[in-house]
Structure 1
Amino acid sequence: MANYPDGPGYPNGPVGGAVPGTPEQRIDAGKFWAGAAAAALVAALTGLVVTLLVRAFDLVPLAPNWTGEVGLPVRFAIVGFGAALVAALLLYLLLVTTPGGDSFFGWIVGLLILAGAILPFVYDASTGDRIATSLVHLAIGLPILGLLPGVGDRAKVWK
């Protein structure tokens, strides 16, 4: 290994930032997407269970009607599954293209969860139903924010 004036990894190291002979990191796509599917299942089940929980207190979360006659808990399960897969795609793109992509992912998803928690309060509905919707949105977002960065870390391999 070449000896650089300030050592490898320091500002005066080799041009381009790469030290000859050091391994490079990549993402194992199969492992990543298997973990993303598991996280999506957790988010879907969380949406289902929390919706059932708030319904037990006679609260009705606000939900889009694009799912037709499907029951309310199933609607939020579908939303949770889809949101987790979209978040996984975002994380994957950030990990393969952006230095520190997992940090940006945390900020982006955290802000989207916050927006989802605030969004029900712009609609005309009872306060209880708006709070219930906010809780369901938070419950769906937290496993996404908590599980996907770990999936990304465990899918990293060195070549």
Structure 2
Amino acid sequence: MSYRDPRDPRDQDPRDQGTARYEAGYSPQSRAYSQPTDRYQQQYGDGQYGDQQYRDPRDNPAQYNAAQYNAAQSDPRYAGSASYGKQPKQRQRPSINAGLYAGGVVMTGVVTGLAAWLVAWIIRAIAQRVNEAGNLGVWNPLAQDEYWFAITGFLCALAGGALWYVLYLTTPSPNQFYRWIVGLLIAAAVIIPLVLSAQISTGIGTAVVHLVIGLPVLSLIPAMGEKSIQR
């Protein structure tokens, strides 16, 4: 194959912009070389294709009818600009099913009350057996009766449910704060009877019942809250 100079007059085509620049009198503004052919005009418009900018129809929906605008929404060419002109949505915390959560808190109170009543009854039954034998003296393990501890356990569960709900609305991590608060209250409820009771048996029995009341409130209330969140 022989080499041919691109400036060879035989290869110069006035319609070819690649060879037109080698002709004498060529100018980029020359109309002879800047105007496209009729077929080019029919296909690409009035010679403005090279200067036409790629525009997103959603930038100005008023210039397009509803069908074109809806078609542009699903056009993959505009996928990168789907969020153009829109404000980012703020992250919202999931809501709680109030009825489901209230039912869980009430049942937690029932479980706590029954557990407190059962443990108090067992401690009193053991103390009565010891008192009847008379070998270890007279024990008075509980400062109150079993029903008082049952009601106290139920009310503590309701208070724990209200506390968790308030922490959920006002803190970023309600479970951690709830466990810390309730854990400290349980420790105080166990230690105070041991220190302030006149009889050591009464202090031990009351501390055990307080511990039994606190454990369901500590573990069940956060679980009820997590199960009641609508994600």
Which TM class, normalised by the smaller chain length? 0.7 to 0.9
Counterpart CA distance in 1 for 2:90 and 2:189 is: 46
In structure 1, the partner of 2:142 is: 61
How many residue pairs get matched?
Answer: 134
Normalised by the length of structure 1, the TM-score is 0.78
In structure 2, the partner of 1:120 is: 193
Moved more, 34-43 or 91-100: 91-100
Determine if the alignment matches structure 1 residue 40 to structure 2 residue 121: no
In structure 1, the partner of 2:131 is: none
In structure 2, the partner of 1:87 is: 160
Counterpart CA distance in 1 for 2:185 and 2:147 is: 22
Question: Contact 2:190 / 2:210 at 8 angstroms: preserved in 1?
Answer: yes
Residue 60 of structure 1 aligns to which amino acid in structure 2?
P
Map 1:6-17 → 2, pairs under 5 A = none
Give, in angstroms, the shift of residue 82 of structure 1: 0.5
| Cα shift readout 1:3-55 (whole Å, capped 9, x = no counterpart) | 9xxxxxxxxxxxxxxx6386641111111110000000011001100100110
Question: Contact 2:141 / 2:204 at 8 angstroms: preserved in 1?
Answer: no
In structure 2, the partner of 1:50 is: 119
In structure 2, the partner of 1:66 is: none
Counterpart CA distance in 2 for 1:52 and 1:41 is: 16
Give, in angstroms, the shift of residue 96 of structure 1: 1.7
1:135 aligned residue (179, 199, 208): 208
Give, in angstroms, the shift of residue 128 of structure 1: 1.4
Give, in angstroms, the shift of residue 146 of structure 1: 1.2
Residue 29 of structure 1 aligns to which amino acid in structure 2?
A
In structure 2, the partner of 1:109 is: 182
Residue 61 of structure 1 aligns to which amino acid in structure 2?
L
Counterpart CA distance in 2 for 1:121 and 1:39 is: 27
Residue 214 of structure 2 aligns to which amino acid in structure 1?
G
Counterpart CA distance in 1 for 2:198 and 2:187 is: 19
SS where residue 230 of structure 2 aligns?
A: strand
Question: Contact 1:62 / 1:120 at 8 angstroms: preserved in 2?
Answer: no
Give identity over the alignment, percent.
Answer: 36
Q: Larger RCO: Structure 1 or Structure 2 (Cα < 8 Å, ≥ 6 residues apart)?
A: 1
Question: Contact 1:27 / 1:96 at 8 angstroms: preserved in 2?
Answer: no
Counterpart CA distance in 2 for 1:21 and 1:121 is: 51
Normalised by the length of structure 2, the TM-score is 0.54
The structure number with the bigger radius of gyration is 2
Residue 89 of structure 1 aligns to which amino acid in structure 2?
A
SS where residue 57 of structure 1 aligns?
A: helix
Give, in angstroms, the shift of residue 149 of structure 1: 0.7
Q: For structure 2, which runs of at least 5 residues remain unmatched after alignment?
A: 1-79, 81-87, 128-139
Residue 114 of structure 2 aligns to which amino acid in structure 1?
L
